Amino acid sequence: MDKVALWKQIKLKSSMLCVGLDSDESKMPEFYKLTTHPQIEFNKAIINATKDIAVAYKLNTAFYETRGARGWDAMEETLLDIPDHCLKIADAKRGDIGNTSTMYAKAFFEQLKFDAITVAPYMGIDSVKPFLEFSGKWIIILAVTSNEGSKNFQFLEMKSGLRLFEEVLNTTSKWGTDSQIMYVVGATHPEYLETVRKFVPDHFLLVPGVGAQGGNLDEVMHHGVTGTGGLLVNSSRGILFAGQGEDAIPAARKEALRLQQHMAPYIR
């Protein structure tokens, strides 16, 4: 899905919602735990309940990789259930030297058919460039993350006078176009969105941290949306586990719809 198609879906649905499929089997309703493939069945129900209001789905691959071959199968099956008009994101946070990154890219873009993957830029351009060589795919580079440990490195001042996350934005934005590269900017740091937009005004930002992590959606939308730069606002646990038992899927839709309706006034 290219940038034009992504914007089309956003305007069609009045939504920038990304549903995070961090499908932890231990937290699912008992009904799904008793099925042959709990993740597949649970994900399918969530997707069917939200596909008219979500523009993207993000699979945190750790929740699948921990189950070995069965988890890999669950990712493959889940991707088949996600409509083609929704962006399919592998939240895999890969990043290694060139030949290894090429193998990661083949795994997630050719074998699993994801549209996008999160990438750590710490090892420099040779850890990112191999992903950029795959036509029609998106690379989502970690910039400002929502975890507590982000303070350890991301806000340190560099010799250039820029903070580390600013240096990442300034440097990596030259490696590809705004139709290839997105950035992760956590919702728990909405005060930095204005700064981020000075460096990458036209890029899409993947914004985790709304919902269970307490990010302020109004601040995120106000500071993050520009005329040409959109957002993918991710909620995972807040949607997946909004309810339990028979209420699980209706509650998930209700929460997704609440977020979509909150975003709608900011989308023109």
Task: Give the model's pLDDT for residue 189.
Answer: 77
Task: Give the model's pLDDT for residue 138.
Answer: 98
CATH class entry, domain 3-146+174-266: alpha beta
Task: Give the model's pLDDT for residue 268.
Answer: 79
| Residue with tokens 């956003």, as numbered in its chain | 10
Task: Give the model's pLDDT for residue 233.
Answer: 96
Q: Alpha-carbon distance 142 to 120, whole Å?
A: 6
Task: Give the model's pLDDT for residue 214.
Answer: 62
| Residue with tokens 């302020």, as numbered in its chain | 216
105 φ, ψ to 5°? -60, -40
Query: Which among 31, 39, 103, 34 has a CA at the least distance from the CA of 68?
Result: 39
pTM of the full structure: 0.95
CA dihedral 165, 145, 267, 225 (to 10 degrees): -10
So which residues are the catalytic ones?
93
Q: Alpha-carbon distance 233 to 220, whole Å?
A: 9
Token reading at 30: 């008992």
Residue 90 has what DSSP assignment?
E
Name residues of the chain where pLDDT drops below 70: 211-214
Q: Alpha-carbon distance 42 to 148, whole Å?
A: 30
